[in-house]
Structure 1
Amino acid sequence: MTWEVATKHNLGLDFSLFGDRFGGALDYFYEQRDGIYMTRNYIPASVGILSAPRANVGSTLNKGFDGQLKYSQQINQVNFTIRGTMVYSRNEILEADEQYSNYPYTRRAGFRVNQNKGLIALGLFKDYEDIRNSPVQNFENFRVAPGDIKYKDINGDGAIDDNDIVAIGATRYPNLTYGFGLSANWKGFDASILFQGAGKSSFFINGYTIYPFSSGDWGNILTDVVESNRWILGGNEDVNAVYPRLSYNGNPNNYRPSSYWLRESSYMRLKTVDAGYTFPKVFTNRMGIKTMRLYLLGTNLLTFSKFKLWDPEMNSTNGQQYPLAKTITMGLTLNL
Structure 2
Amino acid sequence: TVVSHKVSTITWEKSANWGIGFDANFLNEFMLSAEYYNRKTSDIIMNIPVSDTFGISGTYQDNKGELRNQGVEVSLNWNHSFNEDWRMGVNANFSYNKNELIDLAGVDEIIDGYTINRVGSPFQSFYVYEADGLFQSDEEAAAYEAKYGNPWSVPFKGGDIKIKDTDGDGKLSADDRVIKGSQQPKGTYGLTLSGGYKNFDLSIFMQGVTGVSRYYTRDVVGSFIGDTSHPSTNWLDAWSPENKDTEWPRLFLEENSVSAPNKVYSSFWCMNADYLRVKNINFSYTLPKSFTSKLGIANAKIYYTGENLFTFDSLPFNADPEAASGNLDVYPTSKSHSFGINVTF
Asked if TM exceeds 0.5, the reply is: yes
Q: Please tell me whether the aligned partners of residues 163 and 261 of structure 2 are also in contact (alpha carbons under 8 angstroms).
A: no
User: What is the alpha-carbon root mean square deviation over aligned residues?
Assistant: 3.0
Deviation track 1:90-117 (CA, whole Å, cap 9, x = no partner) reads 211112257568xxxx762221012122
Deviation track 1:174-209 (CA, whole Å, cap 9, x = no partner) reads 332211112123322211111111121111222245
Aligned residues: 320
Stretches of structure 1 that go unaligned for 5 or more consecutive residues are 47-51
| Shift, 1:265, TM fit | 1.0
In the aligned structure 2, how far is the partner of 1:178 from the partner of 1:326?
A: 21
In the aligned structure 2, how far is the partner of 1:330 from the partner of 1:285?
A: 23
Given the alignment of the two structures, is residue 76 of structure 1 paired with residue 83 of structure 2, yes or no? yes
Q: Which residue of 2 aligns with 1:184?
A: 195
Q: Please tell me whether the aligned partners of residues 39 and 53 of structure 1 are also in contact (alpha carbons under 8 angstroms).
A: yes
Cα 1:3–1:189 shift into 2, 3 Å: closer
Give, as a single letter, the amino acid of the residue that structure 1 aligns with 2:77.
Answer: K
In the aligned structure 1, how far is the partner of 2:16 from the partner of 2:233?
A: 49
Q: Which residue of 1 aligns with 2:247?
A: 242
| Shift, 1:282, TM fit | 2.7
Q: Which residue of 2 aligns with 1:313?
A: 322
Q: Please tell me whether the aligned partners of residues 32 and 61 of structure 1 are also in contact (alpha carbons under 8 angstroms).
A: yes
Given the alignment of the two structures, is residue 163 of structure 1 paired with residue 172 of structure 2, yes or no? no
In the aligned structure 2, how far is the partner of 1:35 from the partner of 1:209?
A: 34
Identity %: 28
Deviation track 1:271-298 (CA, whole Å, cap 9, x = no partner) reads 2221111112232122221110011222
In the aligned structure 2, how far is the partner of 1:25 from the partner of 1:289?
A: 40
In the aligned structure 2, how far is the partner of 1:178 from the partner of 1:66?
A: 9
In the aligned structure 2, how far is the partner of 1:312 from the partner of 1:37?
A: 25
Give, as a single letter, the amino acid of the residue that structure 1 aligns with 2:233.
Answer: T
Cα 1:261–1:147 shift into 2, 3 Å: same
Q: Please tell me whether the aligned partners of residues 221 and 317 of structure 2 are also in contact (alpha carbons under 8 angstroms).
A: no
In the aligned structure 2, how far is the partner of 1:62 from the partner of 1:152?
A: 32
Q: 1:323 aligns with which of 316, 328, 332?
A: 332
TM-score of the two chains, using structure 2 as the length reference: 0.82
Q: Which residue of 2 aligns with 1:334?
A: 343
Cα 1:59–1:73 shift into 2, 3 Å: same
In the aligned structure 1, how far is the partner of 2:60 from the partner of 2:317?
A: 42
Q: Which moved more, 1:28-37 or 1:262-271?
A: 28-37
Given the alignment of the two structures, is residue 60 of structure 1 paired with residue 67 of structure 2, yes or no? yes
In the aligned structure 2, how far is the partner of 1:195 from the partner of 1:151?
A: 38
In the aligned structure 2, how far is the partner of 1:298 from the partner of 1:270?
A: 9
Given the alignment of the two structures, is residue 123 of structure 1 paired with residue 133 of structure 2, yes or no? yes
In the aligned structure 2, how far is the partner of 1:300 from the partner of 1:57?
A: 38
In the aligned structure 1, how far is the partner of 2:308 from the partner of 2:272?
A: 20
TM-score of the two chains, using structure 1 as the length reference: 0.84
Given the alignment of the two structures, is residue 136 of structure 1 paired with residue 149 of structure 2, yes or no? yes
Deviation track 1:30-88 (CA, whole Å, cap 9, x = no partner) reads 12234445676578969xxxxx9987540111111112210111112212211112222
Given the alignment of the two structures, is residue 254 of structure 1 paired with residue 262 of structure 2, yes or no? yes
Q: Which residue of 2 aligns with 1:49?
A: none
Give, as a single letter, the amino acid of the residue that structure 2 aligns with 1:200.
Answer: G
Name the SS of the counterpart of 1:66 in structure 2.
strand
